[in-house]
Amino acid sequence: MEDSSSRIREEAERIDEIIDTYLPKEEGPASTVMTAMNYSIHVGGKRLRPMLMLETFRMLATDTDERLVYPFMAAIEMIHTYSLCHDDLPAMDNDDMRRGQKSTHAKFGEAMGILAGDGLLNYAFETAIGSFDLIRESDADDTRKLELTQRIAGALKILAAKAGIYGMIGGQVVDIESEEKPAGEVTMDTIMYIHENKTSAMIESSMMIGATLAGATDREIAQTEKIARDVGVAFQIRDDILDIEGDGAVLGKPIGSDARNGKTTYVSLAGLDGAKSDVKIISDRAMAGLSSLRGSDTESGRFLTDLISGLVNREK
């Protein structure tokens, strides 16, 4: 198998090409918001969520064209990007830069930053729903069309739930409220709720949608959800660790911001050594769960393993 970092770069470039085909045309009286939406998508990102979705699909699919997953890959990146647009707003994190470029509100104004996020969220569902057109236009028999339609419906349900008040938004709410509390009032249960929802929910969404569209069994989908939750939690704890001992030049941002802001994190509660130990336990559990899934020994399964390992052991 080729070097995984090269493969990741190639896959990210291919995913960019796929996403571009679903972006709105910058035309008409409301073209400014389309321009802001597309700018936000193009600011950058590793495309990890659509990549996890695609590779999970490839690992588990046996008789389904991977084009079925493309609209959902674009949709998950639109939802992720909308959340960043809103996170950067003055009322939230008040960041004027995102990945070395102006954040959306800094470039287009606060009102358009809000509307661009709103537009991306709504357009994500328009895009995902478009996958029904692929089924209607196919030459499959009625039984097969019904089966694929049911998979899409299941994927849409996951996409909505994981991005909503019982998922990403819920985690963001608790994170914001926790920042307003004295450090001693923020418990490990609260930190875990934030990590499992603000971070893990969209990783769960990505992998579960890939499994659902591939025709995985209910047991396999449930196992995928557990794996993705562990990946998200380990990813976020690793982020907390890097904020203490990471290399600012490698990370591309100053380290120590959590401590300077008095923010309670997993590391501040568990200690640095405890957090490192827990990352290993959680990531090992995720890898063991992945190895038990059907297709984990295929090329896609091995690449997915490398991808997840890289996420939880990253230096930036």
Q: Tell me what the mean pLDDT of segment 208-216 comes to.
A: 98
* 15 vs 259, higher pLDDT: 15
**pLDDT for res 269:** 95
Q: What is the pLDDT of residue 253?
A: 47
Phi-psi region of 23 (alpha: psi -120 to 50; beta: other; left: phi over 0): beta
Asked which of 1-5, 48-52, 108-112 is least confident by mean pLDDT, the reply is 1-5
CATH number of the domain residue 147 falls in = 1.10.600.10
Instruction: Write down the pLDDT at residue 294.
Output: 95
Q: Does position 197 have pLDDT exceeding 70, yes or no?
A: yes
Q: Which domain holds residue 50?
A: 4-312
Average pLDDT of the segment spanning 87-109: 92
Instruction: Give the pTM.
Output: 0.94
3-state helix/strand/coil string of the chain: CCCHHHHHHHHHHHHHHHHHCCCCCCCCCCHHHHHHHHHHHHCCCCCHHHHHHHHHHHHHCCCCCHHHHHHHHHHHHHHHHHHHHHHCCCCCCCCCEECCEECHHHHHCHHHHHHHHHHHHHHHHHHHHCHHHHHHCCCCCHHHHHHHHHHHHHHHHHHHHHHCCCCHHHHHHHHHHHHCCCHHHCCHHHHHHHHHHHHHHHHHHHHHHHHHHHCCCHHHHHHHHHHHHHHHHHHHHHHHHHHHHCCHHHHCCCCCHHHHCCCCCHHHHHCHHHHHHHHHHHHHHHHHHHHCCCCCCCHHHHHHHHHHHHHHCCCC
Q: What is the pLDDT of residue 1?
A: 42
- pLDDT score at 25: 97
pLDDT at 183: 75
| Domains identified in the chain, total number | 1
User: What tens digit of pLDDT does each residue of 138-151 get?
Assistant: 999 999 999 999 99
% of residues, the chain, pLDDT over 70 = 93
Q: Residue 254's pLDDT band (boundaries 50, 70, 90)?
A: low
Q: Is the pLDDT at 3 greater than 80, yes or no?
A: no
